[in-house]
Amino acid sequence: MPSFSGSADLVDLAPEIARRQRVRAVVAATVGTSIEWYDFFLYNTAVALVFPGLFFQREDLLSGLLIGFTTQFVGFIARPAGAFIFGHFGDRIGRKATLIATLLLMGLSTAAIGLLPGYSVSGVAAGLLLSAFRILQGIGVGGEWGGSVLLSMEWGSNERRGLNASWPQIGVPVGLILGNGVMLLFSALSGPGFLVWGWRMPFLLGLALVAVGLYIRLGILETPPFTRLLEQRRIAARPLAEAVRRYPREILLNALVRTSEQAPFYLYTSFLLSYATGRLTYSRDFMLLSVMVAAGFSLFTVPVSGYLSDRYGRKLLYAIGAVGSALFAFPYFLLLGSGVAALAMLAVIVSLVTHDLQYGPQASLIAESFTGRLRYSGASLGYHLASIVSGGPAPLIAAALLAASGTSTGIAVYIVICSAVTLVALALLPDRQGMDHGLEYDEVRATGALEAGRPPRWPFPGRPQTVPGGRGPHPSG
């Protein structure tokens, strides 16, 4: 039978079976990631609209928000822990089994939040329990991303690596649409009872989505590169430790390169809700709807950005998005502050477009930084370390800046600084777009252009080479 995928001797599969598995892998990765982000974003929405007054004793709106966003932050801190735990098992026992575990952890934690008593019933224990389940959510997300991206990318070809890896990324806008949509639905259905029982239903409905995700994921095969590693008995004994030892630069730079994508994103989708409904004059339902509309555009802009990165380069697309984020920072708050609903919605839409130009190519940019047997650990750790320095503190920093100055100017300056950090990290990050992801980087030899138009296999180790036909220099492994 013919060898599947663009890489050397991975797994022998009939073409029809290989095609079905490619489709199943993309669907399983995307659906599972969508469910996990639905769970995660429900919390982000609820922390802006519900949790400060329900689970914590507070004297004013701002202090309640600060406490609520602090509990949100603990979920971000837990994400690198999830990357540690599930990255290890993803590189040891496989992508599929690990992804099933992350889905269960995330779904059960989310449902538990929907059953928690409030501060009036259990006092301080309410906030502590909420924080505990938020930590479990963070651990689940920390293991989910790397596995989903690798499942989709490693079943695909080298030439479409950016597009293939971008499909799980649309789990973010799908999760936003589902999370905000269900919250909006129960806001309308429950009316005055929203703060009593209406907010709980979206969390409990997550169990049904988990059942769907498990059904899909149980029907896929392990990825060809990992199967090849098993057959050759090349599984790393301590993949996380080896990834940190071999790729410390890549891990750090991949965390920093996310700054202009992740920090503004949580301002645009979570902090925005409290800012626009508290400081400005917009209604809760209108802001939820605006985020949903923007997320609808992201269903197209994320995979298109991934596709364009295959043609024009990951770094170019990413840099365009980072610059766009900086340029739009001040206009964003001007449009919101206009008080005109159409302009406010436009601001929300454009803000996510600049995010998507980075988020589409990001999965392949990070994953291809690491060789296959360490890829789950290295990519997950690099991706989720950004949660501590970027995504987690962003709403807290924004709330503190707003409290200190009373204006949005400081927040806009903060977004510009985030873009500057990303551009520096991006310039320093090794570009491995030309590497064959189906081969271990230390196996790769200089062979010229591969057959069937595949990218060259760059020597590892060795000097930077140039792609025949002109894609520019690529550092070796």
Q: Is the pLDDT of residue 450 over 50?
A: no
**Per-residue pLDDT reduced to its tens digit, 339-384:** 899 999 999 999 999 999 999 999 999 999 999 889 999 999 999 8
- Domains delineated in the chain: 15-452+464-474 (1.20.1250.20)
The encoded tokens of residue 179 equal 């999370």
The string over 142-160, giving b where at least 16 C-beta atoms fall within 10 Å of a residue's C-beta and e elsewhere, is bbbbbbbbbbbbbbbbbbb
Residue appearing with tokens 């296999």: 457
pLDDT at residue 313 in the model: 92
pLDDT at residue 467 in the model: 36
pLDDT at residue 422 in the model: 97
Q: Is the pLDDT of residue 68 over 80?
A: no
Q: Is the pLDDT of residue 4 over 50?
A: no
**Per-residue pLDDT reduced to its tens digit, 180-207:** 788 888 888 888 888 788 889 999 988 8
Beta bridge partner(s), residue 466: 473
Instruction: Tell me how many degrees the CA angle 161-163-168 measures, rounded to the nearest 5.
Output: 100
Sequence letter at residue 272: L
Q: Where are the alpha helices (DSSP H) in 232-369?
A: 239-246, 248-257, 259-266, 272-278, 284-312, 314-337, 341-367
Mean per-residue pLDDT over the chain, rounded = 81
Does residue 15 have a cis peptide bond before it, meaning omega lies within 30 degrees of 0? Answer: no
* Of 53-67, 318-332, 358-372, 419-433, minimum mean pLDDT range: 53-67
| pTM tops 0.85, yes or no | no
- The larger pLDDT score, comparing residue 127 to residue 308, is at 308
Average pLDDT over residues 2-26: 60
